[in-house]
Amino acid sequence: MIRIAFAAALLAAPAYASESKEQSCKYQGQVMAAVQQARLDRVKQEEVEQVILDNNPEWPEAYSNAIPQLASHVYTMKRRDLKETDLGALFEQQCLQNWDQIQAMQKQLKSN
């Protein structure tokens, strides 16, 4: 799950400049929760991004870049397992815990 958190955080990188750690991680958790809900609602994986975007999510647009990456992970999970776990809350928590690592990776990518 942490690998997915890093990938999503890096995809949403442009949004970080103007947001606090808490706000950014909250948005990332919201994106993950939306992907999880789409899976629980039996939205086809190839349609998940458009379905989520059609619902006008409240997070900044840059965070939507993570939807395909998150969907590829969430859609490998069994629906019954998804019913028992709040991936949005878990994702937000992991983001907060790994914030410094994520920031270091972003700086390294920008310098390359």
What would the pLDDT profile of 24-34 be if each residue is shown by its tens digit?
A: 889 989 999 99
- Mean pLDDT of the region 10-25: 68
Tell me the residue length of the chain. 112
pLDDT digits (tens, 9 = 90+) for 43-92: 999 999 999 999 999 999 889 988 998 998 899 999 999 999 999 999 89
**CA 11/CA 102 separation, integer angstroms:** 11
Model-level pTM greater than 0.85? no
- Position 2 confidence tier, pLDDT thresholds 50, 70, 90: very low
